[in-house]
Chains A and B, each alone.
Chain A
Amino acid sequence: MTFAIDLLQLLVIVGAAPLLSGVVGRIKARIQNRRGASIFRPYAELRKLFGKEDLVPPTASPLFRLCPVVLFAATLAAAAFIPALHASALLGNTGDFILLVYLLALARFFLILGAMDGGSSFGGMGASREALVSTLAEAPLLLGLVAVSIVAHSTSVTSIVRWAIGRHLFQLSPVHALAFVALALVAIAETGRVPVDNPTTHLELTMIHEAMVLEYSGPSLALIEWANAIKLNLMLALLIALFAPWGIASSASISALAVAAVAYVLKMAVLAISLAVLESSVAKLRMYRVPDLLGVACALSILAVAFTALRR
């Protein structure tokens, strides 16, 4: 029974991911006074891409077609860690948050390999930038999760969520506040959103993620785009689960799950609106200032870890 619910949860995360991207894009368009595309457009895009032919550059190796598959698989596995509706996940008991972080890192690694394998100069540029950003983002991500896990006395994401459900809003602690700000900054960097990277840009010199996928087409590109959307959904769901998990079903009853679904939709809506507002109001940082932003996130997460000792 739990297995079925967790599988449903995974399908929700994976299936609703393009919808989330569509909603964020639509809100951004509305803020910018445009009508914007339909929120279901990413689904149409995926269907189109799956029907097209996969063009491979003549200089590419078999790795080129392998990378999007590995990327999608790793992201899928990472999504199986997140308790979005139910206080347990498909792979919740298999590993802890370190495995989650490194599944994401594995996905990113193969994306970088594939970009460099494509042979274009923009691919190489995007790959090097992505490597820089991800290296700098890894420390605050791990430290923020470490801080939260120390307070919750467990390293498994589902156990942390179960612990967090037991507390209530007024027990706000500096550890959680600092870790939230740090992880929010990291989420922006990891998912390639403004102010770190602009996902809708068409100027190659400003791209990080888009530059890496310039050479891809057809189903490979579909897998990469879908994996990117899943990553956004995953990071936001992780933030919700760690810091505002109230509403997540502890039992397997239908009513609890219904409440959890509604809560999930509401919280995701809040985060989507905040993300859209943030993207529309802040300018993208120049590349040499991105390490500064991630340095701020790192300092905040170090302070969060230090506070776990001070609050004893």
Chain B
Amino acid sequence: MGLVEFAAAKTLASSAVFLFITVLLIAAATRTSTCIVLFAAQCAVITMQVVAMAYLHRSGEALVVAAMVLLVKVLAIPYALLRIRNRLNVPADISASTTAAQSVYIAAALILLAFAVVQPYARAFALDSEMLAVATALVLTGAFLMVSRKKALMQVIGLLVLENGIFLAALTTTFGMPLVIEMGIFFDLLMCVLLMGVFVFRIRDTFEHVDVSRLRRLRG
């Protein structure tokens, strides 16, 4: 099965490229639905990584994890987010505080920062520095998205990208944690997204908008 091994190894090697592309495209996107689709694509890339890793390490547990990633992060959560977005009935524009070009510049700077930060640690702990850099870049970009986007739903997407980064870091350093813990984490994530959906609707109903930069009544 040399070809499948080869394909698995190559998938792992080149998935970093695709993750970078999705990160940059999310930073450049101007509509919420585009971001949700790009997030689903990102999770699909991660699923393929998990599958490749499951094959290379002969681990059945990792296949279960891959199935969970597929079901929860590629299908369930984006579907829930798209439904929320369609029922919210607010303008589709992302209302970011930075333009698309500035966001891509900042995302690119964050990717380079991630590489710079990860290099010494990766060498010290004998880890795959490129994957870890991608994970750190995802975390940083997720944080940037949460800060620069003013729509409540975009904050949720930024949070999900951040969690993706942490999941990827777990994947590359430890090849996944015990299965029960992974399942618990996924369940938590799903509940979290649903709860945030409930809150976004409440924000829209009480405030008549979903612009979180205008939620400034509680200060000091």
Q: Which residues of A contact B (CB under 8 A)?
A: 170, 172-174, 177-178, 181, 291-296, 298-300, 302-303, 306, 310
CB distance from B130 to the nearest CB of A (A): 9
Is the beta-carbon distance between B100 and A295 smaller than 8 angstroms? yes
- Kindly identify which residue among B10, B17, B105 contacts A174, using a CB–CB cutoff of 8 Å: B17
Say whether B101 faces chain A, with CB atoms less than 8 Å apart.
Answer: yes
Is the beta-carbon distance between A177 and B101 smaller than 8 angstroms? no
- Kindly identify which residue among B17, B20, B100, B108 contacts A292, using a CB–CB cutoff of 8 Å: B100
Say whether B40 faces chain A, with CB atoms less than 8 Å apart.
Answer: no
Is the beta-carbon distance between A296 and B20 smaller than 8 angstroms? no
- When chains A and B are docked, how far (Å) is the Cα of A298 from the Cα of B104? 9
Assess A300 versus B108: contact at CB under 8 Å? Given A172-B14, A178-B20, A181-B21: yes
- Kindly identify which residue among B10, B14, B16, B101 contacts A299, using a CB–CB cutoff of 8 Å: B101
Q: Which residues of B are found within 8 Å of A174, using beta-carbon distances?
A: 16-17, 20
> 8 Å CB contacts to A: which residues of B73-127?
99-102, 104-105, 107-108, 111-112, 115
- When chains A and B are docked, how far (Å) is the Cα of A217 from the Cα of B112? 51
CB distance from A55 to the nearest CB of B (A): 42
Which residue of A181, A292, A294 has the most chain B CB atoms within 10 A of its CB atom? A292
- When chains A and B are docked, how far (Å) is the Cα of A174 from the Cα of B108? 12
Is the beta-carbon distance between A296 and B21 smaller than 8 angstroms? no
Is the beta-carbon distance between A177 and B104 smaller than 8 angstroms? no
Which residue of A178, A292, A294, A299 has the most chain B CB atoms within 10 A of its CB atom? A299
- When chains A and B are docked, how far (Å) is the Cα of A294 from the Cα of B104? 11
- Can you list 5 contacts pairing A with B, beta carbon distance less than 8 Å? A178-B24, A291-B101, A293-B101, A298-B101, A303-B24
- When chains A and B are docked, how far (Å) is the Cα of A170 from the Cα of B17? 12
Assess A299 versus B108: contact at CB under 8 Å? Given A170-B10, A310-B115: yes
- Kindly identify which residue among A170, A173, A302 contacts B108, using a CB–CB cutoff of 8 Å: A302
Is the beta-carbon distance between A300 and B24 smaller than 8 angstroms? yes
Is the beta-carbon distance between A299 and B17 smaller than 8 angstroms? no
B interface majority secondary structure: helix
Is the beta-carbon distance between B104 and A296 smaller than 8 angstroms? yes
CB distance from A209 to the nearest CB of B (A): 23
- When chains A and B are docked, how far (Å) is the Cα of A300 from the Cα of B24? 8
CB distance from A144 to the nearest CB of B (A): 14
Is the beta-carbon distance between A177 and B17 smaller than 8 angstroms? yes
Assess A170 versus B14: contact at CB under 8 Å? Given A300-B108, A303-B108, A303-B112: yes
Q: Which residues of B are found within 8 Å of A296, using beta-carbon distances?
A: 28, 100-101, 104
Q: Which residues of A are found within 8 Å of B111, using beta-carbon distances?
A: 303
A interface majority secondary structure: helix
Q: Which residues of A are found within 8 Å of B104, using beta-carbon distances?
A: 295-296, 299-300
Is the beta-carbon distance between A299 and B105 smaller than 8 angstroms? yes
Which residue of B10, B108, B111 has the most chain A CB atoms within 10 A of its CB atom? B108
Q: Which residues of A are found within 8 Å of B28, using beta-carbon distances?
A: 296
- When chains A and B are docked, how far (Å) is the Cα of A295 from the Cα of B17? 21
- When chains A and B are docked, how far (Å) is the Cα of A295 from the Cα of B102? 8
- When chains A and B are docked, how far (Å) is the Cα of A302 from the Cα of B105? 9
Which residue of A172, A291, A296 has the most chain B CB atoms within 10 A of its CB atom? A296
- When chains A and B are docked, how far (Å) is the Cα of A216 from the Cα of B105? 41
Is the beta-carbon distance between B21 and A172 smaller than 8 angstroms? no
Is the beta-carbon distance between B101 and A292 smaller than 8 angstroms? yes
CB distance from B155 to the nearest CB of A (A): 23
- When chains A and B are docked, how far (Å) is the Cα of A77 from the Cα of B56? 52
CB distance from B57 to the nearest CB of A (A): 21
> 8 Å CB contacts to A: which residues of B3-58?
6, 10, 14, 16-18, 20-21, 24, 28
Is the beta-carbon distance between B101 and A295 smaller than 8 angstroms? yes
Q: Which residues of A are found within 8 Å of B18, using beta-carbon distances?
A: 177
List 15 additional A-B contacts (Cβ < 8 Å) besides A292-B101, A296-B104, A302-B108.
Answer: A170-B6, A172-B17, A173-B17, A174-B16, A177-B17, A178-B20, A178-B24, A292-B99, A295-B101, A299-B24, A299-B101, A299-B107, A303-B111, A306-B108, A306-B112
Which residue of A291, A302, A306, A310 has the most chain B CB atoms within 10 A of its CB atom? A310
- Kindly identify which residue among B24, B105, B115 contacts A295, using a CB–CB cutoff of 8 Å: B105
Q: Which residues of A are found within 8 Å of B107, using beta-carbon distances?
A: 299
- When chains A and B are docked, how far (Å) is the Cα of A299 from the Cα of B108? 7
Is the beta-carbon distance between B21 and A177 smaller than 8 angstroms? yes
Q: Which residues of B are found within 8 Å of A300, using beta-carbon distances?
A: 24, 104, 108
